[in-house]
Chain A
């Protein structure tokens, strides 16, 4: 029997990882900024027994933060399963607030998420374009690192791994391309792009191609460490456990 994924964990990944990666999409893809234009609004996703967060669109950029108190449009979901259904296109949410913003939801937000999908599930042909390849990898990087934090905090097996992670910032970096940190505190991981000056450990991918090959499962992180394509250092037990959680990301994102 195949391993059953936890819907609540998936909801957190969908919220902060998938929807959260709209921030990276807007930062890296001009078309995304063009879709948004200068319009400013916000969508709150309130999942019962799950995550609650708001996406804010302003000046062509997207931000995500916890809570739905200040959103213009509010989309309630009765369960993590329903929210996950919206992400995979099987559930259509009905807003309880911000009906006047429906055109944004139906047009711009839809266009933006469709564009996101092309970068998260790219075709081989699209990936031959260097610019697309780099942007897609940047978006994937953010999604994957965020997913690690959510799995560490919510998935039963991920929580076990996190229980063995000592406090301190963990740097994940694609050399000369992108970096993010997971802040470990009391076995809870928080994702941030604001990397502290000093970190407890690091995992650095040699280049964008290495990172991409790892994301796509073409190479293995353990083998890549042996080859010197992934460099690790500092409190290796942190990296060891992050690596174990990383191996569960595929389970949730496949």
Chain B
């Protein structure tokens, strides 16, 4: 009934579920840090719905704010004034934001950012960093993706992350042609360790963009609010011209936002860009409650602290079991790789044994910490990880 079953990044064909029988495909319900599959098995969830769950599933404060707004009205002819409240809160919260524009998905706002950059600069080319993910519109995909034609991606330029010479070269070779540089705050691509920006790299990118009148877009859809409540550009000490949020912005309620600098406001105003449900009020109420609660909790710091504790104990469990576990990226958004085997088959075995024991990791994607994760959950996770290491060790006496 549904082409390919569970499609997209949450589907088994993405390679995150190897072997498929170790992973639950459909959930029944969720609460806090857990979800239960349709067979009643509970999992400590380190994917957090691929990011949106930042406070815990069914957070009472966010859900109550959403419930109250639903009673007042959600999808109405004239948008509810709570939209303005949410925009003001984002502008007050995000360091580089002078305005906020709302949509539904990350892809909506990354696409708006690129269109705005092209409209503002009257240029075509966009610089991407290899290993990127910015959504599913044709411009975000590659020439070998089904349904994408050469013309969709002919203005895309690809550069290796952290290669300062390469980015300088691309600017020199495409003088006055680059509309935007779009980047996640650091390289959290798959199948290899995540890579933080090298010292001075963001400063160099910022300067190159400024000097060349190119718009600097930060795609903070995945990492947003897990590094810094004021935006991941703030975390790394620079200011983006445009910054894209989704996932964690409303703890699972469906809203995304593009925030930007004053000089781009008129450009955005001139664009024809909207959708049927983009001005729904319930997600705005949820977003306000979520951001306010994240501020009260000191959320990014809390998540980084929890992630650091988990990272430390997982590495110790691996070392004690004779394995070389790499935990990379910012700890609130950690990436796992068992480095004992370049093919990653051993890694996949270990991950699958963790999942079979109720800890939901995936094979090749960064993970997410949420604020409801307890010390007890971390202890249980580490115990499961140790058990899984022992199973893998027993299965591979040759190691």
A38 within 8 A of B: no
B364 at the interface (CB under 8 A from A): yes
A200 at the interface (CB under 8 A from B): yes
Considering only residues 1-59 of chain B, those with a C-beta below 8 Å from chain A are: 3-6, 11-13, 15, 18-21
Contact of A228 among B3, B4, B21, B344 (CB under 8 A): B21
Report B-chain residues with C-beta under 8 Å of the C-beta of A234. Answer: 343-345, 348
Which of A160, A198, A228, A240 meets B20, CB within 8 Å? A228
Dominant secondary structure at the B interface: loop
In the complex, what residue of chain A is closest to B189 when comparing beta carbons? A237
A241 and B190 CA atoms in complex are apart in Å by: 14
Q: Is B363 an interface residue (CB 8 A)?
A: yes
- Identify which of B13, B20, B146, B342 gathers the most chain A CB atoms within 10 Å of its CB: B13
Task: Enumerate chain A residues within 8 angstroms of B273, measured Cβ to Cβ.
Answer: none
A153: interface (CB < 8 Å): no
Separation in Å of the B37 CB from the closest CB of chain A?
16
A201 within 8 A of B: yes
Given contacts A225-B13, A225-B20, A237-B190, contact A168 B145 (CB under 8 A): no
Q: Is A115 an interface residue (CB 8 A)?
A: no
B144, CB-defined interface residue at 8 Å:
yes
CA distance A231 to B144 in the complex (A): 22
Q: How far is the CA of A227 from the CA of B343 in the complex (A)?
A: 23
Residues in A with CB closer than 8 Å to B323 are: none
- B146 engages A199 (CB within 8 Å): no
Tell whether B236 is near chain A: CB-to-CB under 8 Å: no
Interface residue ranges of B240-270 to A (CB < 8 Å): none
Within 8 A of B (CB), among A166-219: 168, 198-201
Q: Please, how many angstroms separate the alpha-carbon atoms of A198 and B5 in the complex?
A: 32
B120 interface residue per 8 A CB criterion: no
Q: Secondary structure of the A side of the interface?
A: helix
A125 to B222, CA, bound (A): 53
B146 in contact with A226 (CB, 8 Å): no
> What residues of A have a CB within 8 angstroms of the CB of B344 in the complex?
234-236
How long is the Cα–Cα vector from A115 to B21 in the complex, in angstroms?
A: 42
What is the size, in residues, of chain A's interface with B at 8 Å between Cβ atoms? 31
| Cβ of B21 to closest chain A Cβ, rounded Å | 7
Instruction: Give Cα A172 to B248, complex, Å.
Output: 40
Contact yes or no, A231 B343, CB < 8 A:
no
The yes or no answer to B142 lying at the interface (CB within 8 A) is yes
Instruction: Give the residue of B145, B343, B363 whose beta carbon is less than 8 angstroms from that of A244.
Output: B145
Q: Flag if A236 contacts B4 (CB, 8 Å).
A: no
Check if A225 sits within 8 Å of B343, measured CB to CB. Answer: no
Shortest distance from the beta carbon of B70 to any chain A beta carbon, whole Å: 34
B297 at the interface (CB under 8 A from A): no
- Which A residues are CB-close (under 8 A) to B18? 232-233, 236
Interface size range on B against A: 20 to 34
A158 at the A/B interface (Cβ < 8 Å)? Answer: yes
Instruction: Evaluate contact between A226 and B345: CB separation under 8 angstroms.
Output: no
Residues of A within 8 A of B20 (CB): 225-226, 228, 231
Q: Mark B312-347, 1 if CB is under 8 A from A, else 0.
A: 000000000000000000000000000000111100
**In the complex, A198→B12 CA distance in Å?**
24
Q: Which of A160, A200, A248 contacts B343 (CB 8 A)?
A: A200
In the complex, the chain A residue whose C-beta lies closest to that of B149 is A3
Q: Given the complex of chains A and B, what is the CA–CA distance between A236 and B9 in angstroms? A: 14
With A160-B143, A200-B342, A222-B13 as given contacts, are A235 and B4 in contact (CB-CB < 8 Å)? no
| A contacts, CB < 8 Å to B | 157-158, 160-161, 168, 198-201, 220-223, 225-228, 231-237, 239-241, 244-245, 247-248
A-B contact pairs, 23 of them (CB 8 A): A158-B144, A160-B143, A160-B144, A168-B343, A200-B342, A222-B13, A226-B4, A226-B11, A226-B13, A228-B21, A231-B19, A231-B20, A233-B19, A233-B345, A234-B345, A234-B348, A235-B342, A236-B191, A236-B344, A236-B363, A237-B190, A237-B191, A248-B144
CB-CB nearest 10 A-B residue pairs:
A236-B15, A225-B13, A222-B13, A226-B5, A234-B343, A244-B144, A223-B4, A161-B144, A237-B191, A226-B12
| Seed contacts A221-B13, A222-B11, A235-B343; 4 additional CB < 8 Å A-B pairs | A157-B143, A160-B144, A199-B343, A240-B15
